[in-house]
Amino acid sequence: MVRLCDAVEATPGGQLAVLLPETDLAGALQTASRLLGLLRPGPEEGTAMAVGVASYPGPGITDAEGLLRAAQRAMERGRSAGGGILTPGARH
């Protein structure tokens, strides 16, 4: 699902961050959609998953911290909508 150059890391908040170098926003959305389909828990799990995607460079994204903040905001929008969805960040 991920390439050798990609990085998957756990964040302090118990979330996963997937970094996809040399991938545009459309490619990142496609990868995130596949991951969401693979990792989505069943209804018996009682949890919902939200995926936020951001791309660098992008509007207001000038560094790694800005990239992670944009993805976090996108994920929070998905979580507020009830989860189980993929939410893109700002498009450029």
Structure confidence by residue, pLDDT tens digits, 72-92: 888 888 778 776 666 676 544
The separation between CA 43 and the C-alpha centre of its own chain, rounded to angstroms, equals: 21
| pLDDT mean over 54-83 | 82
Q: Which residue has the tokens 């976090």?
A: 72
pLDDT, residue 87, reads 66
| pLDDT mean over 48-67 | 82
**Whole-number percent of the chain with pLDDT over 90:** 0
Mean pLDDT, the chain, integer: 77
Contact 13/47 with Cβ under 8 angstroms? no
How far, in Å, CA of 13 to CA of 35, rounded?
19
User: Would you state the structure tokens that stand for residue 52, as one six-digit string?
Assistant: 């936020």
